[in-house]
Every structure is written in structure tokens, then in C-alpha cells.
């Protein structure tokens, strides 16, 4: 199994939150990431302003992506897409 980098874990969390608000447990299940890891990365993402706590009680915390988080995710997805396109073009040139 390939080790996931911080950036891939955070991207997965942001993608999951872009669908709907989630608790840490739900994020963990949907993204297949340990809940302690999710909690740790949510702290980082909250500090960066990409995620915020939409609701908090004694029993549950619900997080949602911020507009800045959505913009960040779009930019990151665009960079990955451009990188993939470059790699495909390079592979095609090598084959010919």
C-alpha cells in the first residue's frame, strides 16, 4: 500500500467536505483515513482558513469547507490535471 502524503490526505478531506458538512467520524469513514489523522489535519486546515467548524457541542463537531477552501481545491485539482496532461503527452512522445 502506497503511503499517502500530507497534501493527498488534506486534498481528500477537502474533496469530501466539498460534498457536504461532516463530522470527524464521517470524514474518516468516507475518506478511509484514521479519525485521529483526520482530526489532526482538520486542525491544520482550520488554521489555514480552508475549513471551519460549522457546529460544535459536547458530543459532536461538524466541519465544512470555506469559500477559500473551495478555491484552493479548484486550484490544486487544476495543477494535478495539468501535471497529468504533461505526463501523458511526454509518454506519447516517447512511444512514437
Q: Is 42 exposed, middle or buried (0-12, 13-18, 19+ CB in 10 A)?
A: buried
61-94: b (≥16 Cβ within 10 Å) or e: bebebbeebeebbeeeeeeeeeeeeeeeeeeeee
* Position 38 in a domain: yes
Domain count, the chain: 1
Tens of pLDDT, residues 44-91? 999 999 999 999 999 999 999 999 999 999 988 877 655 544 544 444
Domain limits for position 44: 6-95
* Position 61 in a domain: yes
This prediction has a pTM of: 0.79
* Position 12 in a domain: yes
Looking at per-residue confidence, does 83 or 20 come out higher? Answer: 20
* Position 65 in a domain: yes
* Position 1 in a domain: no
* Position 40 in a domain: yes
Are 53 and 62 within 8 A, CB to CB?
Answer: yes
Lowest mean per-residue pLDDT among 1-15, 19-33, 46-60: 1-15
Contacts of 41 (CB under 8 A, 6+ apart): 6, 9, 10, 13
pLDDT for position 82: 57
For residue 32, what is the domain's CATH number? 1.10.10.10
Amino acid at each position: 500500500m502506497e503511503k499517502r502524503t500530507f497534501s493527498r490526505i488534506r486534498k481528500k478531506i477537502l474533496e469530501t467536505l466539498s460534498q457536504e458538512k461532516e463530522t470527524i467520524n464521517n470524514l474518516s469513514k468516507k475518506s478511509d483515513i484514521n479519525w485521529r489523522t483526520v482530526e489532526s489535519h482538520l486542525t491544520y486546515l482550520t488554521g489555514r482558513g480552508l475549513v471551519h467548524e460549522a457546529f460544535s457541542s459536547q458530543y459532536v463537531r461538524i466541519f465544512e469547507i470555506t469559500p477559500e477552501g473551495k478555491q484552493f481545491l479548484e486550484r490544486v485539482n487544476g495543477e494535478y490535471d495539468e501535471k497529468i496532461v504533461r505526463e501523458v503527452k511526454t509518454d506519447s512522445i516517447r512511444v512514437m
